[in-house]
Amino acid sequence: MTVAQETATPSRIDWTLLARQVGGLVRLELRRLLLTRRAVILGVASAIPVGIVLLVGSIPIGGQTVLERFGNRIVYETIFETVFLGAILFFGCLYVFFNLFRGEILERSLHYLLLTPLRREVVVAAKYAAAVAAVAVLFMASTVFSYMLIYLPVGFSGAVEDLTAGPGGRHLVAYLGVTLLACIGYGSLFTLVGMVFRNPIIPAGALYVWEMLHFLLPPALKKLSVIHYLKGLLPVPLSDGPFAVVVEPPPPAVSVLGLLAFAAVVLAATALIIRRMEIRYTED
């Protein structure tokens, strides 16, 4: 019998207390994310798709706007897939989630969290949940605003009709779902990367290349990319070009559950690392 076992009594979980503790940590993290310079950078990034859609929807070229000439759904899908999903969500999540723990390690303030009466796994889950909430709110707002701008050529009544009676509402929900799942999937991945690597450039660069060139990968390897599942959920299919290895997208349920399971596994790995982690800032 160990010293501790001689006298320690197993503690029962007080769920109400735990909920208050997690609430406190989520609020602390949200304040750190939304009331600092980080939020300004994310806000600017999330405004980029809105600006692009505004440009292509309001500036006429040869008498027609781009939205009118190529069709608003195709144009929006292209912007969403290439700019938003292909860059802003990826790098926005990298910026926030890589620094979720690494930022506090570099700031030498992580020990304050680890000296609170919270299991380290709970700390990981609560910080991650707060970051997903913060990033998702910003990026989903960006999705809604940018999507609404595709109705510039048809006006308010046309927008209401498409959103309620046409496919517009379903498409918007799909884009919001993809945005949320991207935050969840990339968020978990970059949280883990932040725990393992001190510098994000090499791992993030490798991941970015992998994600962006996924269409060239053989079918088996495609399944190892986050974007493969996200693209399967997009409402308007676009061609990946003549060199793409074409495979049937996974069913939506597989994409959603697969990404959630992926995030859970990656977070579990992160929790395992932080559980064994020692605070020795001099090494960082």
Partner 1 sequence: MSDGRNIVIRDVSKFYGDVLGVNRVDLEIEPGITSLVGPNGSGKSTLMNLLAGLLRPTRGEISVLGLPVTRPQDLFRRFGYCTQYDSFPRGATGWQFVFSYLLLHGLDRGEAERLTARALERVGLVDSAHRRIAGYSKGMRQRIKLAQAIAHGPQVMVLDEPLNGLDPMVRAETIELFRQLAGEGQHVLISSHILHEVDLLSDRVILISNGYIVAEGEVPGMRAEVEEVREQPLQVFVRCDRPQWLAGRAFELDHVTEVQLHDDGGGLHLRTRDADRFLRLVAELVAEGGVEVEAVGPADSDLQAVYRYLVDEEEEPS
Q: What residues make contact with partner 1 under the rule CB under 8 A? A: 2-8, 11, 14, 17-18, 20-21, 23-25, 27-28, 31-32, 36, 104, 107-109, 111-120, 122, 276, 278-281
Shortest gap between Cβ of 270 and partner 1 (angstroms)?
A: 17
Taking the C-alpha atoms of residue 89 and residue 74, their distance in angstroms, rounded to an integer, is: 20
Cα 147 from chain centroid (whole Å): 18
Position 246, amino acid = V
Of 5 and 164, which has the nearer Cβ to partner 1? 5
Position 139, amino acid = F
Taking the C-alpha atoms of residue 78 and residue 131, their distance in angstroms, rounded to an integer, is: 27
- 3-class SS of residue 61: strand
Please give the helix or strand (H or E) that residue 52 lies within, else none.
helix 37-58
User: Terminus-to-terminus CA distance in the chain, angstroms?
Assistant: 37
Shortest gap between Cβ of 111 and partner 1 (angstroms)?
A: 6
Residue whose token pair is 């309001």: 58
Of 25 and 226, which has the nearer Cβ to partner 1? 25
Of 37 and 239, which has the nearer Cβ to partner 1? 37
For residue 68, give every residue at least 6 positions away whose Cβ sits within 8 Å of its Cβ, in sequence order, or none: 153
Taking the C-alpha atoms of residue 177 and residue 232, their distance in angstroms, rounded to an integer, is: 12
Of 202 and 280, which has the nearer Cβ to partner 1? 280
Shortest gap between Cβ of 18 and partner 1 (angstroms)?
A: 7
Of 13 and 253, which has the nearer Cβ to partner 1? 13
Shortest gap between Cβ of 199 and partner 1 (angstroms)?
A: 20
Of 18 and 236, which has the nearer Cβ to partner 1? 18
Shortest gap between Cβ of 119 and partner 1 (angstroms)?
A: 5
Alpha-carbon Rg for the chain, nearest whole angstrom, is 22
Of 120 and 223, which has the nearer Cβ to partner 1? 120
Shortest gap between Cβ of 136 and partner 1 (angstroms)?
A: 23
Taking the C-alpha atoms of residue 206 and residue 213, their distance in angstroms, rounded to an integer, is: 11
Asked if 273 contacts 195 with a C-beta cutoff of 8 angstroms, the reply is yes
Shortest gap between Cβ of 198 and partner 1 (angstroms)?
A: 17
Residue 228 has which token pair?
């493969």
